[in-house]
């Protein structure tokens, strides 16, 4: 198994965080087709464990030296795998059994003076980074059929709500379930739908639609809403339309535009106004870093300032397209106060809207992401 250790060393030394780790590993494995499925699984676990735990892992150097083992990448990978509870996947290596338990400093993972939103504790948040979150499905229809198929395939699941189920991450559901019966959507993301309260024939606008998760959730709650979506990326809008087609839903009116640019937004929408606007704003994604621990590892505090400025411009721009009495539903998948409560304060100050309510959806207890939602009402006449 020496080649496994050679590969993980190569991965760690060459990966720079510019691509999502999942994409990087996929491209890396394509270069080495001789790596089997078991090899890829082990290397993925090694890489993810490294970015989950490396900054907080400290091997007792004196003890390691006394065992005539170096503190190179191999022993550090082993220590990270043990911290993350993945030691059963470790391939043979003299240090697997020999190295002592490492010290782990949870605060070293995030040594930055960044305030978190109310409703989540820093220690809990950092501890959650050590474990891969679960896979969550939103069951769109035929719940009895879905559970029967899962039972038949011996895929374990747990109900979180009446139509949200939790499964082991990596469960091969695409080979078992009809594609139109479910949507892969984190439990906290599904919970944002509790703020929608849509009515038939209302005009809704999903201004940062992305892959369309919130738009699809909205249409499943109330198919009769008249929906407009936008995103700055044409490829993303194309994918969103394909998802609507896959789920046999009427496609929305779609615009490719940068909503942070007020003239471009006005050009796309004209004077059109909406009953409700979903603003699932671009953000640091810190509430989802348990799935993407490389983002924590390569974190630069400057990104919070950049996203906060972007969120403020987007929210104020789209608020001009709200009807009197209309609602703006501001959403992030961040746990940082600067992207959440401080943006809320800015929106209130700049737009004159009224804050109806807000919530930090803390998903740690069920192995899900964490998200922030704030709901505003347009008081302008």
pLDDT tens digits, one per residue of 153-196:
999 999 999 999 999 998 999 999 999 999 999 999 999 999 99
> Is 129 a domain residue?
no
pLDDT of residue 96: 66
> Is 118 a domain residue?
no
Instruction: Please give the residue range of the domain that contains residue 242.
Output: 188-377
Look at residue 305 and give its three-state secondary structure. helix
- Total domains in the chain come to 3
Look at residue 307 and give its three-state secondary structure. helix
The last residue of a domain, from among 104, 123, 142: 104
Looking at the structure, do residues 95 and 244 belong to the same domain, yes or no? no
Cβ–Cβ under 8 Å, residues 278 and 204: yes
Per-residue pLDDT of the chain (381 residues; tens, 9 = 90+): 688 989 999 999 999 999 999 999 999 999 999 999 999 999 999 999 999 999 998 776 655 554 445 557 888 898 899 899 998 888 777 666 656 666 789 999 999 999 999 999 999 999 999 999 999 999 999 999 999 999 999 999 999 999 999 999 989 999 999 999 999 999 999 999 999 999 999 999 999 999 999 999 999 999 999 999 999 999 999 999 999 999 999 899 999 999 999 999 999 999 999 999 999 999 999 999 999 999 999 999 999 999 999 999 999 999 999 999 999 999 999 999 999 999 999 999 999 899 999 999 999 999 999 999 999 999 976
- Nearest one of 117, 161, 110, 80 to 289, comparing CA atoms: 110
Other C-beta atoms within 10 Å of 189: how many?
26
> Is 138 a domain residue?
yes
Looking at the structure, do residues 79 and 141 belong to the same domain, yes or no? no
Task: Give me Rg for the CA atoms of the chain.
Answer: 23
> Is 25 a domain residue?
yes
Range 73-77, long-range pairs (CB < 8 A, 24+ positions): 73/8, 73/9, 73/12, 73/13, 74/5, 74/8, 74/9, 75/99, 76/50, 77/8, 77/12, 77/46, 77/49, 77/50
What are the backbone angles phi and psi of residue 237, rounded to the nearest 5°?
-65, -40
> Is 54 a domain residue?
yes
Give ∠ CA 130-135-138 in degrees, rounded to 5: 145
C-alpha span between 73 and 49 (Å, rounded): 12
The last residue of a domain, from among 168, 185, 202: 185
Please, what is the angle between helix 262-269 and helix 302-319, to 10°? 40
pLDDT of residue 60: 63
Where residue 306 sits, what CATH number does that domain have? Answer: 3.40.50.150
Looking at the structure, do residues 335 and 207 belong to the same domain, yes or no? yes
Looking at the structure, do residues 339 and 284 belong to the same domain, yes or no? yes
Tokens 């978190």 locate to 116
Cβ–Cβ under 8 Å, residues 362 and 118: no
Q: Across-strand partners of 308?
A: none
Looking at the structure, do residues 269 and 314 belong to the same domain, yes or no? yes
Return the C-alpha torsion angle 303, 309, 314, 317, nearest 10: -170
Cβ–Cβ under 8 Å, residues 333 and 363: no
C-alpha span between 190 and 211 (Å, rounded): 14
Looking at the structure, do residues 93 and 198 belong to the same domain, yes or no? no
Cβ–Cβ under 8 Å, residues 186 and 212: no
> Is 164 a domain residue?
yes
Looking at the structure, do residues 163 and 207 belong to the same domain, yes or no? no
C-alpha span between 190 and 187 (Å, rounded): 5
What's the count of helices (H) and strands (E) in the chain, helices before strands? 15, 13
Give ∠ CA 29-30-36 in degrees, rounded to 5: 55
- For the chain, strand residue ranges (E) read 57-58, 103-104, 135-139, 158-161, 164-167, 182-184, 203-206, 226-231, 253-256, 274-280, 322-332, 354-361, 371-377
> Is 32 a domain residue?
yes
Looking at the structure, do residues 347 and 226 belong to the same domain, yes or no? yes
Looking at the structure, do residues 164 and 290 belong to the same domain, yes or no? no
pLDDT of residue 67: 47
Looking at the structure, do residues 342 and 271 belong to the same domain, yes or no? yes
Pairing of strands 226-231, 203-206: parallel
Strand order in the sheet with 182-184: 158-161, 164-167, 135-139, 182-184
Tokens of 238: 């194309």
Tokens of 224: 């009769």
pLDDT of residue 3: 87
Cβ–Cβ under 8 Å, residues 234 and 242: no
The last residue of a domain, from among 49, 82, 104: 104
Looking at the structure, do residues 145 and 70 belong to the same domain, yes or no? no
pLDDT of residue 132: 94
Residue 89: CA count within 13 A, CB half-sphere:
23
Looking at the structure, do residues 343 and 194 belong to the same domain, yes or no? yes
pLDDT tens-digit series, residues 193-238: 999 999 999 999 999 999 999 999 999 999 999 999 999 999 999 9
- Nearest one of 22, 84, 87, 77 to 52, comparing CA atoms: 84
> Is 123 a domain residue?
no
C-alpha span between 174 and 282 (Å, rounded): 28
- Does this model's pTM top 0.95? My answer is no
């Amino acid at each position: 198994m020496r080649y496994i250790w050679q590969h993980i060393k190569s991965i760690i030394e060459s990966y720079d965080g510019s691509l999502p780790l999942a994409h990087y590993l996929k491209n890396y494995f394509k270069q080495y087709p001789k790596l089997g499925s078991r090899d890829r699984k082990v290397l993925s676990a090694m890489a993810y464990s490294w970015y989950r735990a490396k900054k907080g892992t400290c091997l007792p150097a004196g003890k390691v030296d006394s065992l005539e083992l170096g503190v190179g990448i191999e022993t550090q990978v082993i220590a990270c795998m043990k911290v993350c509870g993945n030691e059963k996947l470790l391939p043979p290596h003299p240090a697997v059994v020999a190295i002592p338990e490492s010290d782990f400093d949870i605060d070293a993972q995030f040594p930055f003076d960044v305030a978190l939103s109310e409703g989540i504790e820093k220690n809990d948040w950092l501890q959650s980074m050590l474990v891969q979150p679960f896979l969550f499905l939103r069951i769109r229809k035929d719940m009895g059929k879905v559970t029967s198929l899962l039972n038949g395939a011996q895929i374990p699941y747990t109900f979180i709500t009446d139509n949200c189920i939790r499964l082991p991450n990596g469960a091969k559901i695409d080979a078992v379930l009809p594609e139109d019966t479910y949507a892969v959507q984190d439990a906290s993301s599904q919970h944002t739908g509790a703020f929608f309260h849509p009515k038939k024939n209302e005009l809704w606008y999903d201004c940062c639609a992305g892959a369309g998760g919130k738009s699809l959730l909205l249409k499943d709650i109330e198919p009769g809403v008249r929906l407009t979506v936008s995103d700055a990326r044409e490829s993303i809008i194309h994918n969103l339309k394909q998802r609507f087609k896959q789920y046999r839903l009427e496609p929305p009116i779609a615009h490719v535009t940068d909503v942070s640019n007020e003239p471009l937004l006005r050009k796309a929408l004209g004077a059109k106004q909406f009953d409700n606007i979903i603003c699932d704003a671009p953000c640091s994604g810190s509430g989802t870093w348990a799935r993407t621990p490389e983002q924590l590892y390569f974190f630069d505090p400057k990104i919070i300032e950049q996203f906060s400025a972007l969120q403020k411009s987007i929210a104020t721009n789209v608020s001009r397209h709200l009807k009197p009495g209309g609602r703006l539903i501001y959403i992030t998948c961040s746990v940082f106060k600067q992207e959440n409560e401080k943006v809320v304060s800015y929106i209130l100050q700049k737009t004159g809207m009224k804050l109806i309510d807000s919530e930090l959806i803390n998903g740690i207890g069920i192995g899900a992401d964490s998200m922030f939602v704030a709901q505003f009402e347009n008081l302008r006449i």
